[in-house]
Amino acid sequence: MITRRDLLKTSSIAALAGPFVRHASEIDAALFARSDDGRPKKRVAIVATIWNYLSHAQHMGDRFLVGYPYAGTWQRPDIEVVSLYIDQKPGDDQSAARAAEFGFKVYPTIAETLRNGGSRLAVDAVVVIGEHGNYPRNHKGQKLYPRYEFFQQIVDVFEMDGRAVPVFNDKHLSWSWRQAKEMVETARRLKFPFLAGSSLPVTWRFQSLELPFGCEIEEALMIGVGSSDAMDYHALEAMQCMVERRKGGETGIRSVQMVEGDAVWTAGVNGRWSQDLLEAALSRSDTQYGDSQHPQDLANNGDLRKLVKHPAAYFIERNDGLQTTLLMLNGAVGDYTFAARLRGTDELQSTQFFLPERPNVAYSACLVHKIVEMIRTGKAPYPVERTQLASAVLDRCLDSKVSGHTRMATPELDIRYTAPRESHYCNV
């Protein structure tokens, strides 16, 4: 049955229905068609720090309202945003306008948002987007987004109301490895599907590379750009989604060390990261700075040291002995690339995690599609431990940074999990 609210919403949908749905009658027909399968729409609450233009909440949240492209068609999942919590509302806040246009309510607390104004949990899933907004940083440079606090308030409702629903958490679980661990344990204890992380693991790749499941990796190198702790996190999770497919699965982290400046290059000379992996990864870059009017062999032409004023290397040693490195090379390139050496093969494996540009930032459609998959199926398509590990590695690497760049043993990062065999990156 079409509801009164559906009818009220048609005016807004008419404006967003695509080139060839022009008349209200067509829109009504489309709504009826979707309702006819007998399944009610899944109701979603969004819990976000801030909702303004090109914030994660806007470009991801809007996709639940207006749809998104995937596999060559405009997806309109049977999902309805029914409530929203917004932590900060600066002058360019869009939450009230969105709520008015799309017929949902903005509540002053997370508990009310999840109960949609009633007395019990009233949604089928919660999407947490705790990215962007004005929050303090700590001495390690971490922006103290209240993702853990949001999560705790969400699970408080789950526990009080005796029911839990799937939760998505955008980006790292928390700036703190302890909080991230607790979040994963809570989801496990309350048995609700929990998906999290970056869009990099699920966006397009150039080339279309997935490491063979169960491969033996001898060494892996990731190149990233941007600031800490926003972008190094993305790079760490991109690397993680590749190396977790290795033989034996993820075995956890034995130690981490972050170095900066000349120590990065010295480590390369000493063989701590490999020159040929650097060349392989850089060969996948489509954005070169410096003398970029012509193609550059940045791995070998000696310009890297000149271009990268503040290099950083994140050394991550795994419990099974695998050495992995993230190099942050701001000034040389503008994209995220990866290379690995597999045992028994001559050729290196390499790819770029492609981030389509503004305004469409189409990578977020790839991520939203995975959230939709979880909401539809009730199963997280890939393990939250991937994000827990990336969150924890970053936190401890930043400990290394503020502790004189020393190597830190990390028995607390004994995070073991098995990756899904199937691919989840966008290739359709």
Partner 1 sequence: MARPRITAVVTEYRTNAHAQHIIDRFLWGYGWQGRHHHPPMDLVAIYVDQFGEGDLARDRARRFPSMKIYPTIAEALTLGGEKLAVDGVVLIGEHGRYPQNRKGQTLWPRYEFFMEIVDVFRNSGRTAPVFSDKHLSWNWEWATEMVRTSKAMDFPFIAGSSVPHNRRMPPVEIPQDAEVEEIVGLAPGGVDGYDIHCLEGMQCMMERRKGGETGVVSMHALRDASVYEAMAKGSWEAGGWDARLFEACLCRSHYLSQLRAGFNHVMPTIDEIPSLITTERPVAYRYEYSDGTKATMLLLEGLIHDFTFAARLKGNSELLSLRFHIDSHNPRNFFSPQVNAIEQMILTGKPTCPIDRTLLTTGLTAAGVESLWLGQKRIETPHLAIHYEPTESSTFWRS
Residue 6 contacts residue 44 (beta carbons within 8 Å): no
Q: Residues 66, 111, 190, 408: which binds partner 1 (CB under 8 A)?
A: 66
Q: Candidates 72-80, 135-143, 171-179, 187-195 — which segment interacts with partner 1 by CB under 8 A?
A: 72-80
CB of residue 276 vs partner 1: minimum separation in angstroms?
8
The reply on whether position 103 binds partner 1 by CB under 8 A is no
The reply on whether position 357 binds partner 1 by CB under 8 A is yes
The reply on whether position 77 binds partner 1 by CB under 8 A is no
Of 350 and 410, nearer to partner 1 (C-beta) is: 350
The reply on whether position 421 binds partner 1 by CB under 8 A is no
Q: Residues 24, 30, 34, 69: which binds partner 1 (CB under 8 A)?
A: 69
What would the 3-class secondary structure string for the chain be?
CCCHHHHHHHHHHHHCCCCCCCCHHHHHHHHHHHHCCCCCCEEEEEEECCCCCCCHHHHHHHHHHHCEEECCEEECCCEEEEEEEECCCCCCCCHHHHHHHHCCEEECCHHHHHHCCCCCCCCCEEEEECCCCCCCECCCCCECCCHHHHHHHHHHHHHHHCCCCCEEEEECCCCCHHHHHHHHHHHHHHCCCEEEECCHHHCCEECCCCCCCCECEEEEEEEECCCCCCHHHHHHHHHHHHHCCECCCECCEEEEEEEECHHHHHHHHCCCCCHHHHHHHHCCCCCECCCCCCCCCCCCCCCHHHHCCCCEEEEEEECCCCEEEEEECECCECCEEEEEEECCCCCCEEEEECCCCCCCCCHHHHHHHHHHHHHHHCCCCCCHHHHHHHHHHHHHHHHHHHCCCCCEECHHHCCCECCCCCCCCCCC
Q: Residues 235, 362, 375, 419: which binds partner 1 (CB under 8 A)?
A: 362
Which x/- pattern over 240-279 shows residues binding partner 1 (rule: CB under 8 A)?
---------------------------------------x
Q: Residues 138, 227, 275, 287: which binds partner 1 (CB under 8 A)?
A: 287
The reply on whether position 73 binds partner 1 by CB under 8 A is yes
CB of residue 304 vs partner 1: minimum separation in angstroms?
13
Of 52 and 228, nearer to partner 1 (C-beta) is: 52
Residue 304 contacts residue 296 (beta carbons within 8 Å): no
CB of residue 265 vs partner 1: minimum separation in angstroms?
19
The reply on whether position 200 binds partner 1 by CB under 8 A is no
The reply on whether position 96 binds partner 1 by CB under 8 A is no
The reply on whether position 128 binds partner 1 by CB under 8 A is no
The reply on whether position 94 binds partner 1 by CB under 8 A is yes
The reply on whether position 195 binds partner 1 by CB under 8 A is no
Of 287 and 377, nearer to partner 1 (C-beta) is: 287
Q: How many angstroms separate the CA atoms of 360 and 54, rounded?
A: 9
Q: Residues 47, 56, 58, 325: which binds partner 1 (CB under 8 A)?
A: 58
Instruction: Give the pairing of strands 312-318 and 253-260.
Output: antiparallel
Of 106 and 110, nearer to partner 1 (C-beta) is: 106
Residues 148-187 binding partner 1 (CB under 8 A) are none
The reply on whether position 239 binds partner 1 by CB under 8 A is no
Q: Residues 2, 8, 97, 409: which binds partner 1 (CB under 8 A)?
A: 97
Q: Residues 350, 387, 391, 410: which binds partner 1 (CB under 8 A)?
A: 350
Give the binding site for partner 1 (CB under 8 A): 14-22, 53-54, 58-59, 62-63, 66-70, 72-74, 94, 97, 204, 206-208, 279-280, 282-288, 292-297, 299-300, 334, 339, 347-350, 356-362, 365, 427-428
